[in-house]
Amino acid sequence: MTTDTKKIILNGRKIVGGCAEGEALVTRDTISGWGGINPANGNIIELRHELYGQSFKDKILVFPGAKGSSGWSTFFHTSRLAGTAPKAMLFNVMTTKMALGAVVTHAPAMTDFDQDPIEFIETGDWVKVDADNGIVEITKKR
Amino acid sequence: MRLTDEEKAMLDGKEGPAVQKAMDLLVRYGEALGAEKLVKTNNVSTTVVSSNPFMRDFTNKYGFDATFSEFNLDSQEVVEIPTVKTHSCQLITSLDAEHWETLGVSRDRLELTKNQEIYNGNLGIQLMSTCAPYQVGNVPVKGEVCAWMESSAVVYINSVLGARSNVEGRESTGAAMLTGRIPYWGYHIDENRLGTDLIDVEWDVESMTDWGLLGYYAGEVVGERVPVLSGIHHTPNMYRVKHFGAAAASSGGVEMYHIPGITAEARTVEEAFGKNKPQFSFKFGKAERQKAYDHLNVSARDTNVDFIMLGCPHASIEQVWEITKLLKGKRINSSTQLWIFTPRAIRQLADRNGYTKIITDAGGVLMSDTCPAIGQVLPKGTKVVATDSAKQAHYLPAIMGVQTWFGSLEDCINAAITGKWSGDLR
């Protein structure tokens, strides 16, 4: 580790257990499932979305929460079966869409953080998620 | 989460493996939400059809029980699905079996849909096949505990009717049908139904277009909170609130709203907020209306229109009638297609009233059971769409990669006849 590598720890509540690590993909926009993502490649397809055209496949997805159609869970469920799901999901606002979607995606998921993950995590940061113990460790990319 | 003895027995498999899997999913889901318990429900709106290509491949490979197990119960083990416990209805599906050739779907897909419909009917699911079941017989009463999918329907039954549902998903409604339970959370709890944000409506909202624009604006500014509209001077009819809620549930996640004196749970602004103080206040004036219109038309550039889509959420009989008044004796342009979507039960009424004939004579098609966004079907070669639905204008560019104009019904019919978009915000 170089001396300028900074680590940040966040604590939160487990939604789906397990551990994962990977590169973060962060957005301040809520995400739609049906009409918002393409489960075939994990791309965000909503036209005015900040992440339009980017894929969450194998990323640690950090976002405010879910919006839109009740197809949310089905689309994230399908992304799991298609092998394009995020490695983990960290979010702020709990809704039924969000909870069910996280549960059926099976990837580690957390919410109710002591500090806002969207403030502390930037796209490209390396993030370790230990949902069982409610811990997120962030290594800044710079 | 606290479970009753009956619920524990279901979780222990006393009612068979499918009910066990259903209860297991409800416990995982309820705990994710932080729910303290489950609540009984006897009214479920769901989808059990294989609506996208991925799911159709899955069903063709593994069968209907496997599809229900995976996609409606999140069970990787295939369990035999018993008759459902609750009053349940099928929401919108992926094709209209009467117009499958016009829709351009394959015979294989038609056969799969028909066989799946027989399977679903045998489970005891009412095949209403519409995004708006409250138009064709599933009309929950005030206070009724429901477990519904379809964001546009949930916001309608919560707000307009005073029934109680969160926006559920395919898996949670699958589990609810087999157990008669759903997590007690969100809009099942009195205090969560109170208003959180005030929208002062300065524009004199009356037309269907304005109700759509107001809804689209409301969803953008309140997200998933509960808006209270003040300044509404014209009582909207059913299709206006249907359009408003669908728009608010597309740009945001609105599941409940109040229009004091009009919707079910508030006679006054004070009653709508109860013990809450408004978290945020917004106004809907000329500028906000224009902004919502511009956002809805963000994808549209080309004024040559190929396809006009009406009926999202599925048109009421009043809407079908209004369409026929504009179409009677007219002929749509040879370069455009006009498809209108309504529940099948309403199409039968339209047949009987002679409306279907007026539409067909003009060159349009009255369809049921599906819509372009859900069925992922458009007339061949469609690049530019026009619609009077804010929800469809929001989703079609993303789902189908087409330009979409949003405007009034008159603008849309005009485009169908001339082949050109000349709509504007008036």
DSSP B130-162: SS-GGGTT--PPTT-B-EE--HHHHHHIIIII-
Count CB neighbours of B311 within 10 A: 26
Q: What is the CATH number of the domain that holds A72?
A: 3.50.30.10
Share the mean pLDDT of chain B: 97
Question: Which phi and psi (to 5°) does residue A32 adopt?
Answer: -90, 150
Give how many domains chain A has, as a whole number: 1
Q: What is the CATH number of the domain that holds B95?
A: 3.30.499
Regarding whether B232 and B98 lie in a shared domain, the answer is no
- Minimum CA–CA partner of B75 in chain A: A104
For residue range B303-340, what is the model confidence (pLDDT) as tens digits? Answer: 999 999 999 999 999 999 999 999 999 999 999 999 99
Regarding whether B289 and B313 lie in a shared domain, the answer is no
* 3-state SS class at B283: strand
Write down which residue in B137, B163, B188 finishes a domain.
Answer: B188
For testing the chain A interface, which of B21, B27, B29, B69 should be mutated: the one with the most A CBs within 10 Å? Answer: B29
* pTM confidence score: 0.95
Domain that holds residue B353: 297-418
Domain that holds residue A83: 7-139
Of B290, B247, B291, nearest in space to B392 by CA: B247
Residue A87: inside a domain: yes
What does the pLDDT read at residue B215? 98
For residue range B157-175, what is the model confidence (pLDDT) as tens digits? Answer: 999 999 999 999 999 999 9
User: What are B354's two structure tokens?
Assistant: 């002679």
**Catalytic residue flag (residue A73):** no
Of B209, B426, B227, nearest in space to B296 by CA: B209
Regarding whether B34 and B172 lie in a shared domain, the answer is yes
Give how many domains chain B has, as a whole number: 3
Q: Which residues in chain A are contacts of B55 at CB distance < 8 A?
A: 78
End-to-end CA distance of chain B: 53
Mean pLDDT in order along chain A per 10 residues (142 residues): 72 98 97 93 93 98 92 96 98 96 98 97 97 97 79
CA B338, CA B192: separation in Å to the nearest integer? 42
**Which of A30, A39, A45 minimises the CB distance to B398?**
A45
Regarding whether B305 and B369 lie in a shared domain, the answer is yes
At CB < 8 Å, which residues of chain B contact A?
25, 28-29, 32-34, 52, 54-55, 58, 70-71, 74, 148-151, 154, 166-172, 183, 185-186, 223-224, 249-250, 252-253, 295, 298-299, 373, 394-395, 397-399
What does the pLDDT read at residue A48? 87
What does the pLDDT read at residue B52? 86
Of B313, B260, B341, nearest in space to B151 by CA: B313
What does the pLDDT read at residue A3? 46
Cβ contact A53:A140 at 8 Å: no
Q: Which residues in chain A are contacts of B403 at CB distance < 8 A?
A: none
Q: Which residue has the higher pLDDT, B398 or A98?
A: A98
